[in-house]
Amino acid sequence: MTPDEKKKAAALAALEYVESGWVVGVGTGSTANHFIDALARIKGKLDGAVASSNATAERLKKIGVPVLELNATGDLPLYVDGADEATRHLHLIKGGGGALTREKIVAAASRKFICIADDSKLVDTLGRFPLPLEVIPMARSYVARQLVKLGGAPALREKFTTDNGNVILDVHNLKILNPVELEEKLDHIAGVVTNGLFARRPADVLLLGSDQGVKRVT
């Protein structure tokens, strides 16, 4: 199977978690897009969806799923999204698509977070994938200096602005042995809006597409 076929298989498996009359949170990226395509088959069942990015909102509207504001829905029963890296402890790196802030908000407001990915995303230690941080533009250089002090090598994501009007620093060379601690530490740097570690609120279930079928890690 190609990585894309594995992503699609994981996305289809996530459909089983969707119940009638629900409003579901929907993530961003190529795996989340497969989930949106899958939702088209059962869209009559859904009361709507909360999107984690403008791109996802557009895609949901195209298939006829009502897109609702999180402020209007209250907590959600389910959030489905991809990841750039995942561990067996269900800690994640996210933000490869730059949507990490809204993704973290929707994950925080959801009772169950299903992460869908191909099995190449499973790692023993997070950090091979550069950790994305959404940063207020005027704080870019200050934040970068603090990241260097922590042993990271930050790089500005070129020609990219988030849906919230901010920039992304991708931090290389981090070997993340304690993701919960690092997530907290990075959030305390002035000017950081969000970091791409999802450890304080990890996934609840990881569905990994593989040659042997979809593996479920809980």
Residue numbers in the known binding site for substrate are 28-31, 81-84, 94-97, 121
Binder of ligand 5RP out of 57, 99, 174, 208 (CB under 6 A): 99
Q: Does 173 bind ligand 5RP (CB under 6 A)?
A: no
Contact status, residue 117 vs residue 209, Cβ threshold 8 Å = yes
* Binding range to ligand 5RP, per CB under 6 A, among 9-17, 22-30, 140-148, 180-188: 22-30
Q: Say how many residues touch ligand 5RP, by CB under 6 A.
A: 17
Binder of ligand 5RP out of 6, 8, 94, 104 (CB under 6 A): 94
Name the burial class of residue 141, with classes exposed (0-12), middle (13-18) and buried (19+) by CB atoms within 10 angstroms of its CB.
Answer: exposed
Q: Does 110 bind ligand 5RP (CB under 6 A)?
A: no
Q: Does 130 bind ligand 5RP (CB under 6 A)?
A: no
> Which run of H or E residues covers position 56?
helix 54-62
d(CA 167, CA 147): 15
Contact status, residue 129 vs residue 84, Cβ threshold 8 Å = yes
Of 45 and 217, nearer to ligand 5RP (C-beta) is 217
Is-catalytic flag, 134? no
Q: Does 197 bind ligand 5RP (CB under 6 A)?
A: no
Looking at residue 109, what DSSP letter applies? T
d(CA 193, CA 61): 28
d(CA 71, CA 90): 27
Binder of ligand 5RP out of 11, 59, 86, 97 (CB under 6 A): 97
Residue with tokens 């690092």: 182
Residues 56-85 that bind ligand 5RP (CB under 6 A): 81-84
Question: In the complex, which residues of this chain contact ligand 5RP (CB under 6 A)?
Answer: 27-31, 81-84, 94-100, 103
Residues forming the active site: 103
